[in-house]
Amino acid sequence: MATNTNDDTIITTGVQQINTNERNRPDETVVEASDLDVYYGHDRAIDDVSIEIPEKKVTAIIGPSGCGKSTFLRCINRMNDQIDVARVEGDLYFHGKNVYDDDVDPVALRRKIGMVFQKPNPFPKSIYDNVAYGLRVQGKDDEVDLDEAVERALRGAALWDEVNAKLDASGLDLSGGQQQRLCIARAIAPDPEVILMDEPASALDPIATSKIEDLIADLTQDYTVVIVTHNMQQAARLSDKTAVFLTGGELVEFDDTTKIFENPNDQRVEDYITGKFG
Ligand SMILES: Nc1ncnc2c1ncn2[C@@H]1O[C@H](COP(=O)(O)OP(=O)(O)OP(=O)(O)O)[C@@H](O)[C@H]1O
Ligand SMILES: [Mg+2]
């Protein structure tokens, strides 16, 4: 859907709703972490990370297994709330509003910052109901509006042509690549601003992967995408910005993707990218 307006980005509930457009950050930054730490019990998984993620661009997060990529991604829409032992310190802003403030409603936040996981996880429901799910949760039940929104999201996820004749079929009966595009349709249906993707193509074959990559490139017309990937070529092909995390949850370098891959400042980044470790 092409109607992302920053003017009504409301992520709080209750009487004192805060319009997140009342911000004092540069316009192009949509998500900002400042001195962010994440602990699981006593173990630190993210170490003092500060980063500004630009609007309507693809930002790739790369780094060796266990360096905190998924943990960082989950901070952005507070999915870590669901992990009992996880504790977040420092600040994480969405349009200048700290998402860990007491008045932020995580459910409203996740409507603005959707997520797609490594393994396609459609609900055991029809294709239509998968995509309509988030809208119905928001109380939208007008049949005509839902039909339109479902079609728009499926078109946005480059799946409409393959499924429009069988919207009542189960989402689980689609191929893996189609299931992942269904999950992307489900994520974009509530009209988020940011889509977080945690290795969205790593369970797919090369053809399905290339379809997802084409789709991600198209999504940046309307959305900000933050993607975790283990695939360097994919990061280089797809992203505008690349953040390199290394063991211990440290953000070692964040810059334009071409700079990171052609001329990184940090020797450890060069070693990682050239396959010396990781
Ligand atoms: N639910 C959890 N409980 C306790 N520790 C966790 C939990 N999730 C992650 N960790 C730990 O936090 C660290 C970072 O994990 P995370 O999953 O964020 O890494 P990652 O970079 O996404 O790795 P991978 O590339 O393998 O997916 C690891 O040491 C991991 O063991
Ligand atoms: Mg991970």
119 lines ligand 1 (CB under 6 A): no
Residue 1 domain-assigned (yes or no): no
Residue 187 is predicted with a pLDDT of 94
Range of the domain at 222: 6-273
Number of Cβ within 10 Å of residue 27's Cβ equals 10
Closest approach atom of ligand 1 to CA 118: 27
39 lines ligand 1 (CB under 6 A): no
Of 38, 65, 70, the residue with max ligand 1 atoms within 8 A of its CB, to mutate for a pocket test, comes to: 70
Structure tokens at 49: 């990370």
Phi, psi of 229 (to 5 degrees): -145, 150
Residue 121 domain-assigned (yes or no): yes
Residue 230 domain-assigned (yes or no): yes
85 lines ligand 1 (CB under 6 A): yes
**Angle at the Cα of 35 (from 200 to 24), degrees rounded to 5?**
90
Whether residue 274 contacts residue 267, with contact meaning beta carbons closer than 8 Å, is answered with no
Q: How confident is the model at residue 17 (pLDDT cuts 50, 70, 90)?
A: very low
Residue 167 domain-assigned (yes or no): yes
Residue located via tokens 């790739």: 60
- How far, in Å, is the centroid of ligand 1 from the Cα of 57? 26
Q: How confident is the model at residue 276 (pLDDT cuts 50, 70, 90)?
A: confident
Residue located via tokens 């780094």: 63
Residue 204 is predicted with a pLDDT of 87
Residue 278 domain-assigned (yes or no): no
pLDDT in tens, 254-265: 999 999 999 999
157 lines ligand 1 (CB under 6 A): no
Residue 275 is predicted with a pLDDT of 86
Q: Which ligand places an atom closest to the C-alpha of 65?
A: 1
Mean of the per-residue pLDDT values of the chain: 90
Residue 189 domain-assigned (yes or no): yes
Residue 85 domain-assigned (yes or no): yes
Of 69, 76, 79, 118, the residue with max ligand 1 atoms within 8 A of its CB, to mutate for a pocket test, comes to: 69
67 lines ligand 1 (CB under 6 A): yes
pLDDT in tens, 107-120: 999 999 999 999 99
pLDDT in tens, 198-224: 999 988 889 889 989 999 999 999 999
End-to-end Cα spacing for the chain: 38
65 lines ligand 1 (CB under 6 A): yes
Closest approach atom of ligand 1 to CA 68: 18
The count of structural domains within the chain is 1
pTM score, whole prediction: 0.89
Residue 91 domain-assigned (yes or no): yes
Measured CA distances, 59 to 192, 260, 276 (Å): 16, 12, 23
71 lines ligand 1 (CB under 6 A): yes
Q: What average pLDDT score do residues 154-173 get?
A: 96
pLDDT in tens, 133-144: 999 998 999 999
Residue 7 is predicted with a pLDDT of 42
Q: How confident is the model at residue 9 (pLDDT cuts 50, 70, 90)?
A: low
Pick from 118, 106, 200, 98: nearest CA to 157 = 200
- The CATH code of the domain that includes 264 is 3.40.50.300
